[in-house]
Chain A
Amino acid sequence: MIAGGLLVICLAASIGVSQKVDWERGDVTLQDVLYIPSPNTVKHLSLGYNGLLADIYWTRAVQYFGSKHHEHSLNYKLLAPLLDITTTLDPHLITAYEFGSIFLSQKPPEGAGDPHAAVRLVGRGIRENPKDWRLWYHLGFIYWQELHDPKTASECFLRGSEVPGALPWMKVMAAALAQNAGEAETARYLWTNILNSTTDKDIRANAEKRLIALRADEEVTILQEYVDRFQKAKGHAPESWMEMIQAGMLRRIPIDPVGYPYQLVNGRVQVARPDLLPFITKGLPAGKQSTVMPKIS
């Protein structure tokens, strides 16, 4: 009886103390998360069961990314090492290359903001899996969208189109990028492709946000043209949308894709809630940075 009661009390106490210890420890160190930082050492220690260990490290990488993303962290320093270990343990884990490159290349707080690490990761994936054309697609995407290098991106799409089984639009993309087609249209085409080809809800959500951001960028551009036209005609910037509606330049107050009215601040069109539109490049309040890297002219 006494032993039973003591058992229950001590178990409950151990949970409470354990929670306090976790709280005191705070963020885990690099050594704690990785256990062993050398990918080759991990592979040797796996005793041949490297497939399962790769799955564990991949899950760890996903959990790490998820928790950092949730905290809106600007520091994802463990992401590249975790992906390195994952792909060393299982070089054929295509998922790690595909999604890992997205996690690495997007700018903080949406990702690690390290497109060069993403290029290295996908490059390794291509060497280990030469028959997988989708990796060329991801490489081309990084060069085009994150590194703003349409020439190299076009070469990637072209190389990928030559892999047996590649879908026909890879050649289309190679041609469009080579000719420097309108970037918004190409981006919309790519993200729509991703949205339609994946069943993973997180990747779909990311693609939807990208498409919404593209729409917002276009609307801000058009609205800003109207505002500039108003200023040219009246000699001063409009102070509100009502002024422009009364002038017959707009029919109603413009609403952004997430349902908030666009704002007019000192003659500039801005979005009301930039935190709900993480990938826009236009309409940002002064001082707020875009999470998509600026164009390199």
Chain B
Amino acid sequence: MIGRLWAIAYSTFREAVRDRVLYNLIVFALLIVGAALLVGQISIGIERLVLVNLGLTSISLFGIVIAIFIGIGLVSKEIEKRTLYTVLAARPVRRWEFIIGKFLGLVGTLAVNAFFMSIGFFAALLYLTHRFQRADANLLVAIYFILLQFVLITSLALFFSTFSSPLLSAVFAFSLFVIGTFADDMRGFAKLTEGGTKWVMTGISYLVPNFSSLNVISQVAHSVPVPGHLVLLNTLYVLVYAVAVNCAAVLVFEKRNLK
């Protein structure tokens, strides 16, 4: 089982690299270097802040865009190219192994992408500030939370890919990402309502993925640490949510007629 999962995951990673996904690192590097060199000339007092905000936002946004645009095609492309039948029938790979392998492959791709971006980001930060400070360790927490975002969005994109066209999957995945950033606002709104609306809003606010709690970029940019218990709780939340969504993907995919 582990061997089959690894094979699917590794081939997903190789395909992403073949799709020149990692070229986005060049754009990222240019952005970061540009910010490091230019911001001090056109603004006042925020060189480090801009570098941190821009760097971490880029790592997050680039990753989410890649997750959506590769994730939506993970299953549908295989169906279209008819390679799925070979994988499922000839290998043989169980359907749930296929889904989980794809999930792990894309998360791995995003993790590698984020790793190289982080190296570039810290290099630019070192160039600007000349030495690291203790508070810079908080940036690693922000990057970890970004990886958690990738896990969530990948599971969602993969789920939609099991039954929808790539275009609709992209729309659904992106919509859930946007709605998820308003999860805190939705809960606040639910508290102000009464009766049935309150229950519905509360239910929806907990059902949508909570991306807002995973965005700590502003906080770490101001060197405010993230409490350890929040790191643990968010990790647990993402794990259970991703498992739930992947289970949903597996259930849909198991029932799907591939002929």
Among B40-48, B133-141, B159-167, the stretch in contact with A:
B40-48
Flag if B49 contacts A93 (CB, 8 Å). Answer: yes
B243 within 8 A of A: no
Interface size on A, residues (CB 8 A): 22
Most chain A CB atoms below 10 A, which of B39, B50, B52: B50
Q: CB-CB < 8 A to A98: which residues of B?
A: 45
Known: A44-B182, A90-B218, A92-B222. A51 touches B43 (CB 8 A): no
Q: CB-CB < 8 A to A93: which residues of B?
A: 46, 49
Query: Taking the nearest CB of chain B, how far is it from the CB of A89, in angstroms?
Result: 9
Q: CB-CB < 8 A to A50: which residues of B?
A: 218
Quick one: which of A48, A49, A58, A90 contacts B43, CB cutoff 8 A?
A58
Q: CB-CB < 8 A to B61: which residues of A?
A: 49
> CA–CA, A47 to B57, complex, Å?
11
Quick one: which of B39, B42, B217 contacts A49, CB cutoff 8 A?
B217
Flag if B45 contacts A52 (CB, 8 Å). Answer: no
Flag if A51 contacts B217 (CB, 8 Å). Answer: yes
> CA–CA, A99 to B212, complex, Å?
30
Query: Taking the nearest CB of chain B, how far is it from the CB of A67, in angstroms?
Result: 11
Closest B residue to A63 using CB positions: B42
Q: CB-CB < 8 A to A92: which residues of B?
A: 218, 222
A27 within 8 A of B: no
Most chain B CB atoms below 10 A, which of A44, A49, A62, A98: A49
Flag if B46 contacts A52 (CB, 8 Å). Answer: no
B181 within 8 A of A: yes
The dominant DSSP class at the A interface is helix
> CA–CA, A47 to B181, complex, Å?
6
Q: CB-CB < 8 A to A22: which residues of B?
A: none
Flag if B53 contacts A200 (CB, 8 Å). Answer: no
> CA–CA, A63 to B50, complex, Å?
15
Q: Which residues of chain B from 38 to 80 have a CB within 8 Å of any chain A CB?
A: 39, 42-46, 49-50, 52-54, 57, 60-61
> CA–CA, A86 to B52, complex, Å?
17
Q: CB-CB < 8 A to B178: which residues of A?
A: 47
Q: CB-CB < 8 A to B155: which residues of A?
A: none
B106 within 8 A of A: no
Closest A residue to B50 using CB positions: A55
B99 within 8 A of A: no
Flag if A55 contacts B46 (CB, 8 Å). Answer: yes
Flag if A99 contacts B44 (CB, 8 Å). Answer: yes
Q: CB-CB < 8 A to B52: which residues of A?
A: 51
B232-245: contact bitstring with A at CB < 8 Å (1 yes, 0 no)?
00000000000000
Given contacts A44-B185, A49-B61, A59-B50, 17 further A-B contacts (CB under 8 A): A47-B177, A48-B211, A49-B57, A49-B217, A51-B53, A52-B53, A52-B54, A55-B46, A55-B50, A55-B54, A59-B39, A59-B42, A62-B44, A90-B218, A92-B222, A95-B44, A95-B49
List 16 A-B pairs, Cβ < 8 Å: A49-B60, A49-B61, A51-B49, A51-B218, A51-B221, A52-B53, A54-B53, A55-B50, A55-B53, A55-B54, A59-B50, A62-B42, A92-B222, A95-B44, A95-B49, A202-B44
